[in-house]
Amino acid sequence: MSMRRTVATWTTAVLAAATLASCAESERDDSGSGGGGDDGTFVFGAAGAPEMFDPFYATDGETFRVTRQMFEGLLGVEPGSAEVVPELATEWTPNEDGTEWTFTLRDDVTFHDGEPFNAEAVCYNFERMFDQNDAGQVAGEYWGYVMGAFSNDAESSLYQGCEATDEFEAVISISGPTSGFPTMLTLESLSMQSPKALEEGDANGIAAEGEGFSFPDYANAPVGTGPFSFGEYDEANGSITLERNDDYWGETAKVSEIVFRVIPDESTRRQELEAGSINGYDLPNPVDWAALEEDGNTVEVRDAFNILYLGLNPEANPQLEDLRVRKAIYHALNREQLVQTQLPEGAEVATQFMPSTVSGYNTSLEPYAYDPDEAKRLLAEAGAEGMTLNFAYPTEVTRPYMPDPQKIYEALRTDLEAVGINVKVSTAAWNGGYLDNVSGEPGKYDAYILGWTGDYDSAYNFIGTFFGNLKDNDFGTDVMPWGKQLADDLKAADAIVDEDERGAAFEEINQQIMEEYLPGLPISHSPPALVVGPGVEGLIPSPLTAEEFDTVTVSGE
């Protein structure tokens, strides 16, 4: 390149830069630097970016973790447990048949935008959630899941209406009693949002566009009642800032600011914590727990509110229709060893399809013993020696109940092979066909690893989800003679109004499931952990993985 051309090139570049510079002014706000208020900033390493900020349409934990700090529901959960406690409603009472619920509301609450919180706001919210367009009905997944239907199919909906009977008293009618109501009002998706902001941001203006949904403005400018309000989402740098709500009705938050930093890679989150640039992250690798503690961090182990099970599908393999075969498989599994060697400390062998903290848990059930000889005997008796099992596990996923699916799979497979069962290895990515193969009708795998984390404290949320839908469940119970009976029993138990009676009914069903039906094999409950760095105090781990950060304090480096 000639000298002249070089000079010309550089001149052009400098000129271009100068032009850009002349129109690039610093837009820094001099009054308050970004350092947050005076009480410090709590920086949390998130594994993924939030989907949006309107919890009603949200579906994943990373989104809920952010919105939970800004929003509250009528009912809340006692920090550190799954127990339902008052939040925006102070009291709630059902009528006799459990179809009308009267909620007494707090009278000292305002939304972040200054709007008052009252019975009208409550009913506005419920009507807003109920009245969704076509796209909204699919995107408003949690409502669909707990309420069953939307306004265009009002009769099938659990929700029947909301009436503001007084300024601070609202009555919600439902189609029939269920164990899920009003507990489901603790769901993050059903939080109370500012009617004015909802209206102005056209919150229900969701539309299907191409293969996705386009969300209205409101989804990025949420207004709630919680201890923190929305600050900003710096997408280019992957950070979300929430600011303390100084007018909070309860005790105001201890830190003036929360920042969520998106750090997709697990080992990077750990390194960020070690370098002191974040104050905590969720689901540390169990392998790291000890080392993290040694370095002065605190690993908070939550109570397990989940279940890992080995699903069996007689539709895919008719040999599994024989109870003896299913029992044989159960006896073949050395779950004690699995829990001790491959799952995080604190994991427990499961005796039924729900954790012990849920009402309806049957304490009299004992775990099936590890007994390979019994397994072989049962297989022989059923004429299923040397049977082949198409056994699958998912890749590209970790869940609180299965930190490492492949490890769990390997352990179970070794056990099965030890009693003479031929295992055909199947695998697929979680979003790459695994769930489709499991939930398809009929499912494609004979046996598969799956689990569930409870949404709220309800037996039906566990076993009802698994077996309550006869036609469309992962266990193929519709080909079993008892399948319909089980589904009916579950629905009947769920509709019992009296809590103790309901609990007893679920206990009985749990016993039946484990002793007579055994549609799948509950394996274990694993405690998910959360880690915070030195100087962080006051974080209360929640079994629902629903931590609220308003009690957290961060002392200087």
Joined together, the tokens standing for residue 81 give 């447990």
Taking the C-alpha atoms of residue 186 and residue 166, their distance in angstroms, rounded to an integer, is 23
Residue number with CB closer to other proteins (162 or 428): 428
Cα 157 from Cα 155, distance rounded (Å): 5
Residue 20 binds to other proteins (criterion: CB under 8 A): yes
Is 36 a binding residue for other proteins by CB under 8 A? The answer is yes
DSSP 159: E
Phi-psi region of 336 (alpha: psi -120 to 50; beta: other; left: phi over 0): alpha
145 counts as binding other proteins under rule CB under 8 A:
yes
Nearer to other proteins, 159 or 309 (CB): 309
Which parts of 205-244 interact with other proteins (CB under 8 A)? 208-215, 219, 235-239, 241
For the bound state, the minimum distance from the C-beta of residue 114 to other proteins, rounded and expressed in Å, comes to 26
Site string for other proteins, 487-526 (x = CB under 8 A): ----------------------------------------
- Looking at 34, 148, 296, 383, which residue binds other proteins (CB under 8 A)? 34
- Backbone φ and ψ of 205, nearest 5°: -80, 50
3 lies in the binding site for other proteins (CB under 8 A): no
- List, as one string, the DSSP characters of 352-414: SSS-TTSTT--TT--PPP--HHHHHHHHHHTT-TT-EEEEEEEES--BTTBS-HHHHHHHHHH
Bridge pairing between strands 553-554 and 536-537: antiparallel
Q: Please name the helix (run of DSSP H) or strand (run of DSSP E) that holds residue 289, with its range, or none.
A: helix 289-294
Nearer to other proteins, 155 or 209 (CB): 209
Contacting residue, 65, 254, 261, 376, with other proteins by CB under 8 A: 261
Q: CA–CA separation, 341 vs 411, rounded Å?
A: 10
Tell me the backbone φ, ψ of residue 244, rounded to 5 degrees. -65, 140
Instruction: Kindly tell me the sign of the dihedral angle through the C-alpha atoms of 157, 163, 164, 165.
Output: negative
CA distance 118 to 116: 6
Residue from the set 100, 120, 169, 266 that interacts with other proteins by CB under 8 A: 266
- Rule CB under 8 A: say whether 28 interacts with other proteins: yes
Indicate whether 281 belongs to the interface with other proteins (CB under 8 A): no
- Tell whether residue 96 is a contact of other proteins (CB under 8 A): no
Instruction: Kindly tell me which residue out of 151, 469, 511, 551 binds other proteins, with binding defined by CB under 8 A.
Output: 469
Residue 77's DSSP bridge partners are 84
The answer to the question of residue 31 lying near other proteins (CB under 8 A) is no
Q: Does 472 bind other proteins (CB under 8 A)?
A: yes
Tokens (6 digits) for 555? 């002392």
272 is a contact residue toward other proteins (CB under 8 A): yes
Smallest distance from the beta carbon of 508 to other proteins, in angstroms? Answer: 26
Q: Does residue 289 bind other proteins (CB under 8 A)?
A: yes
Q: Which of 268, 318, 492, 498 binds other proteins (CB under 8 A)?
A: 268
The minimum distance between CB 312 and other proteins, in angstroms, equals 17
x/- track of binding to other proteins for residues 402-421 (CB under 8 A): --x-xx--xx--x-------
Q: Does 166 bind other proteins (CB under 8 A)?
A: no
Q: Which is nearer to other proteins, 151 or 427 (CB)?
A: 427
Residue 85, helix vs strand vs coil = strand
Cβ burial of 522 (10 Å; 0-12, 13-18, 19+) is buried
Report whether 36 contacts 258 (CB < 8 A). Answer: no
246 interacts with other proteins by CB under 8 A: no
Residues 312-341 that bind other proteins (CB under 8 A): 337, 340-341
In the complex with other proteins, the residue whose CB is nearer, 179 or 279, is 279
Backbone angles phi, psi at 175, to 5 degrees: -75, -25
By CB under 8 A, residue 470 contacts other proteins? no
Q: Distance between alpha carbon 442 and the CA centroid of its chain, in Å? A: 26
Handedness of CA 391, 443, 376, 349 (dihedral sign): positive
Minimum Å distance from CB 41 to other proteins? 7
Per CB under 8 A, the list member of 160, 430, 535, 551 interacting with other proteins is 430
Query: Who contacts 300 (Cβ-Cβ below 8 Å, separation ≥6)?
Result: 529, 530, 531, 532, 539, 541
**Shortest Cβ 527–other proteins spacing (Å):** 11
Farthest-apart Cα atoms in the chain, separation: 94
Q: Which is nearer to other proteins, 213 or 482 (CB)?
A: 213
Of positions 396, 498, 516, 537, contacts other proteins by CB under 8 A? 396
Shortest spacing between CB 119 and other proteins, in angstroms: 31
Which residue stretch of 14-22, 157-165, 368-376, 492-500 sits at the interface with other proteins (rule: CB under 8 A)? 14-22
* 307 near other proteins, rule: CB under 8 A: no
